[in-house]
Chain A
Amino acid sequence: MIAAAVCLGSRYRGDDAVGPEVADRLRAAGARVLECADDPTRLLDLWDGLETLVVVDAVSTGAPPGTLHRVDAGAGPLPRELRLASTHAVGLADALALGQALGRAPSRVVVLGVEGSRFGMGDALSPVVEAALETLVADALAELGIGCTSGR
Chain B
Amino acid sequence: MSETREIRTDYLARVEGEGAMLVRVRGGELEEVQFKIFEPPRFFEALLRGRRFTEAPDITARICGICPIAYMASSAQAMERLCGVELTEPVRLLRRLVYCGEWIESHVLHVVMLHLPDFLGYDGAVELARDRRDLVELALRLKKTGNELMRVIGGREVHPVNFRVGGFYRAPTAAELRELVPELEWAREAARELVRIVGALEFPDYERDYVFVALRQPGEYAIERGRIASSTGLDIDVSEYERHFTETHVARSNALHSSLDGVGAYLVGPLARYALNYEELSDEAKAAAEEAGLGQVCRNPFQSIVVRAVETLYAVEEALRIIASYERPSEPAVECAPRAGTGHGCTEAPRGICWHRYALDAEGFILDAKIVPPTAQNQRSIEEDLVGVVRDRLELPDEELAHVCEQAIRNYDPCISCATHFLRFEVIRE
Which residues from chain A sit less than 8 Å from chain B, CB to CB? 37-39, 41-42, 44-45, 88-89, 94, 97-98, 101-103
Contacts and interface: CB of A to CB of B under 8 A. Distances in A.
B113 A102 contact: no
Given A88-B65, A98-B126, A102-B137, A41 B113 contact: yes
Contacts of A102: 129, 133, 136-137
A101 B133 contact: yes
Interface of B: 13-17, 65-66, 105, 109, 113, 124-127, 129-130, 133, 136-137, 140, 143-144, 147, 157-159
A45 B127 CA distance: 20
Contact of B130 (A38, A42, A44, A101): A101
Contacts of A42: 144, 147, 157
B137 A89 contact: no
A44 B129 CA distance: 13
A88 B66 CA distance: 11
B157 A89 contact: no
Contacts of A97: 126
15 contacts: A37-B65, A39-B105, A42-B144, A44-B140, A45-B144, A89-B14, A89-B15, A89-B16, A94-B124, A94-B125, A97-B126, A98-B125, A101-B127, A101-B130, A102-B133
Nearest to B129: A101
A41 B140 contact: yes
Given A94-B126, A98-B126, A102-B129, A38 B65 contact: yes
A5 to B, nearest CB: 20
Contacts of B158: 37-39
Nearest to B128: A101
Nearest to A37: B158
A97 B140 CA distance: 15
A38 B144 CA distance: 13
Nearest to A95: B126
A89 B133 contact: no
A101 B16 CA distance: 23
